[in-house]
Chain A
Amino acid sequence: MKSFELARPTSLDEAIDLLPKGRGPAEIDDARPLAGGQDILTEMKDYLITPKRLVDLAGVAGLDAYQSAPDLVLGSLTRLARIAADPQIALHHRALSIAAESVASVQIRNQATLGGNLCQRPRCWYYRNESVPCIKKGGAECFAESGLNKYNAIFGGGPSYIVHPSDCATALVLLDATVTKRGPRGESRMPLEQFFTLPSEGSVVRENVLKANEILVQVEVPAPKPGWTSTYLKFKERESFDFAMSAVALSARIEGDTIAEARMVLGAVAPIPWRAGEAESFLAGKPNTHATWKEAAEIALAQAEPLEHNGYKVPLTKGLIQKALRELSGGESK
Chain B
Amino acid sequence: MRLLELEINGDRLHVAAPPHWTLLEVLRYELGLTGTKQGCDKGDCGACTVLVDGKPQLSCLMLGSAAQGHAITTIEGLLPAHRAQGGAGADPVQDAFDRCGALQCGFCQPGMMLSAKALLSENPTPTSTDIKHALSGNLCRCTGYTQILEAALLAATKTEEVL
Residue of A nearest to B59 (CB): A107
Query: How many angstroms between the C-alpha atoms of A5 and B139 in the bound complex?
Result: 33
Q: Does A180 contact B (CB under 8 A)?
A: no
* CB proximity to B under 8 Å, residues A42-92: 42, 44-46, 56, 58, 81
Q: Give every chain B residue within 8 A of A42 (Cβ-Cβ).
A: 42-43, 61
Given the known A-B contacts A38-B61, A111-B57, A111-B62, are A106 and B22 also in contact in the complex, defined by CB atoms under 8 Å? no
Residue of B nearest to A2 (CB): B20
Minimum distance in angstroms from B2 CB to a CB of chain A? 7
A110, B42: Cβ atoms closer than 8 Å = no
**B62: contacting residue among A1, A5, A37, A241, CB under 8 A:** A37
A41, B137: Cβ atoms closer than 8 Å = no
Given the known A-B contacts A4-B20, A5-B19, A56-B65, are A108 and B42 also in contact in the complex, defined by CB atoms under 8 Å? no
Given the known A-B contacts A3-B20, A42-B43, A240-B137, are A107 and B57 also in contact in the complex, defined by CB atoms under 8 Å? yes
Q: Does A6 contact B (CB under 8 A)?
A: yes
Q: Give every chain A residue within 8 A of B19 (Cβ-Cβ).
A: 3-6
Given the known A-B contacts A107-B115, A111-B62, are A3 and B18 also in contact in the complex, defined by CB atoms under 8 Å? yes
Minimum distance in angstroms from B56 CB to a CB of chain A? 5
Q: Does B103 contact A (CB under 8 A)?
A: no
Q: Give every chain B residue within 8 A of A41 (Cβ-Cβ).
A: 22, 61, 63
Q: Give every chain B residue within 8 A of A107 (Cβ-Cβ).
A: 46, 49, 56-58, 115, 137
**B137: contacting residue among A6, A34, A37, A104, CB under 8 A:** A104
Minimum distance in angstroms from B116 CB to a CB of chain A? 11
A111, B115: Cβ atoms closer than 8 Å = no
Query: How many angstroms between the C-alpha atoms of A37 and B42 in the bound complex?
Result: 11
* CB proximity to B under 8 Å, residues A1-28: 1-6, 8
Given the known A-B contacts A3-B20, A4-B19, are A240 and B136 also in contact in the complex, defined by CB atoms under 8 Å? yes
Q: Is the interface of B mostly helix, strand, loop or mixed?
A: mixed
Q: Give every chain A residue within 8 A of B136 (Cβ-Cβ).
A: 105-106, 239-241
Q: Does B41 contact A (CB under 8 A)?
A: yes
B20, A105: Cβ atoms closer than 8 Å = no
Query: How many angstroms between the C-alpha atoms of A4 and B19 in the bound complex?
Result: 7
Q: Does B55 contact A (CB under 8 A)?
A: yes
Q: Does B52 contact A (CB under 8 A)?
A: yes
Interface bracket on A = 20 to 34
Q: Give every chain B residue within 8 A of A8 (Cβ-Cβ).
A: 65
A6, B43: Cβ atoms closer than 8 Å = no
Produce 1/0 per residue, B44-85, CB < 8 A to A: 001001001001111001110110000000000000000000
Residue of B nearest to A34 (CB): B63
Minimum distance in angstroms from A117 CB to a CB of chain B? 13
Minimum distance in angstroms from B22 CB to a CB of chain A? 7
Q: Does B15 contact A (CB under 8 A)?
A: no
Q: Give every chain B residue within 8 A of A81 (Cβ-Cβ).
A: 55
**A108: contacting residue among B61, B63, B133, CB under 8 A:** B61
Produce 1/0 per residue, B115-138, CB < 8 A to A: 100000000000000000110110
Given the known A-B contacts A105-B137, A106-B137, are A37 and B61 also in contact in the complex, defined by CB atoms under 8 Å? yes
A6, B2: Cβ atoms closer than 8 Å = yes
**A38: contacting residue among B20, B41, B43, CB under 8 A:** B43
Q: Could you write out 8 A-B pairs with CB less than 8 Å apart?
A: A4-B20, A6-B20, A105-B43, A106-B136, A107-B57, A108-B43, A110-B55, A111-B57
